[in-house]
């Protein structure tokens, strides 16, 4: 499990006396920043942008303790990247700010920021992984496969004949050797109907934690977080 840092904080919806609000949990699943916000972005570079009123143009920039570092007026603010955040002003222009809200020249990246050594490919209706030199690394045995991040990739493995994958649905995470590191724990109600368990639309791993959903239905699905040791922390 990754150690605690300023970027191992993750936004979650929590029911309060004022309805659902957004706060942040740490990688142990403990609420670290109270649910006070109508909108909350991810932490990067030890900062996250939030809004108290979803219809307001006021954005607050929080640090990892939940303290407001600064606020600004904008149509939209993107997550920090290389200690800079892109801002869309009320007038429609774009500019960049540093960690303290000061306008700066954007950092120019001339080399790839990151890359994977393995990439998914399809063959005869199945999926596997190849290396950068197009060499076969993991054979096409998976019903579905996603990209690697932090050494793990989501796949759908047919563990039994009743396992039928759906769009954006995975039931395991494998490492680069093809070993199953995390397997979905399916949960059923009293009538035998599947309640949850599969990983729908998993995002990239971030500091040992992956965000996913319990279904593809935006009206009923719940947002979940799983840690790379297999523990669901939210």
Q: What is the pLDDT of residues 65-85, one digit of tens each?
A: 999 999 999 999 999 999 999
Q: Encode pLDDT of 29-75 as tens digits.
A: 999 999 999 999 999 999 999 999 999 999 999 999 999 999 999 99
CA atoms within 13 A on the CB side of 2: 18
Q: How far is it, in rounded angstroms, from Cα 108 to Cα 75?
A: 24
Q: How far is it, in rounded angstroms, from Cα 207 to Cα 2?
A: 6
Residue 5 scores a pLDDT above 60: no
What is residue 4's predicted lDDT score, i.e. its pLDDT?
Answer: 46
Which tokens in the block code for residue 214? 């319990």
> In sequence order, what are the beta bridge partners of 211?
225
Cβ pair 180, 138 in contact under 8 A: no
Which tokens in the block code for residue 19? 């309805």
Determine how many CB atoms are found less than 10 A away from the CB of residue 11. Answer: 21
Residue 193 scores a pLDDT above 80: no
pTM, to two decimals? 0.88
- The 3-state DSSP class for residue 112 equals coil
Residue 158 scores a pLDDT above 90: yes
Which tokens in the block code for residue 18? 């004022």
């Amino acid at each position: 499990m990754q150690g605690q840092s300023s970027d191992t904080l993750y936004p979650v919806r929590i029911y309060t006396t004022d309805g659902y609000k957004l706060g942040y949990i740490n990688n142990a699943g403990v609420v670290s920043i109270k649910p006070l916000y109508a909108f909350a972005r991810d932490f990067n570079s030890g900062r996250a942008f939030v809004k108290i009123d979803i219809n307001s143009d006021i954005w607050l920039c929080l640090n990892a303790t939940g303290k407001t570092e600064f606020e600004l007026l904008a149509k939209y603010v993107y997550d920090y990247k290389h200690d800079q955040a892109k801002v869309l002003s009320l007038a429609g222009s774009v500019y960049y700010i540093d960690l303290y809200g000061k306008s700066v020249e954007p950092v120019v990246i001339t080399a790839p920021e990151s890359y994977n050594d393995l990439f998914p490919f399809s063959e005869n209706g199945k999926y596997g992984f190849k290396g950068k030199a197009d060499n076969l690394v993991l054979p096409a045995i998976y019903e579905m496969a996603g990209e690697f991040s932090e050494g793990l990739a989501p796949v759908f493995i047919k563990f039994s004949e009743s396992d039928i994958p759906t769009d954006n649905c995975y039931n395991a995470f494998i490492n680069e050797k093809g070993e199953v590191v995390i397997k979905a724990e399916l949960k059923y109600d009293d009538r035998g109907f599947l309640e949850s368990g599969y990983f729908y639309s998993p995002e990239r791993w971030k500091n040992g934690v992956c965000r996913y959903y319990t279904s593809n239905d935006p009206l009923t699905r719940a947002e979940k977080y799983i840690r790379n040791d297999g523990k669901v922390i939210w």
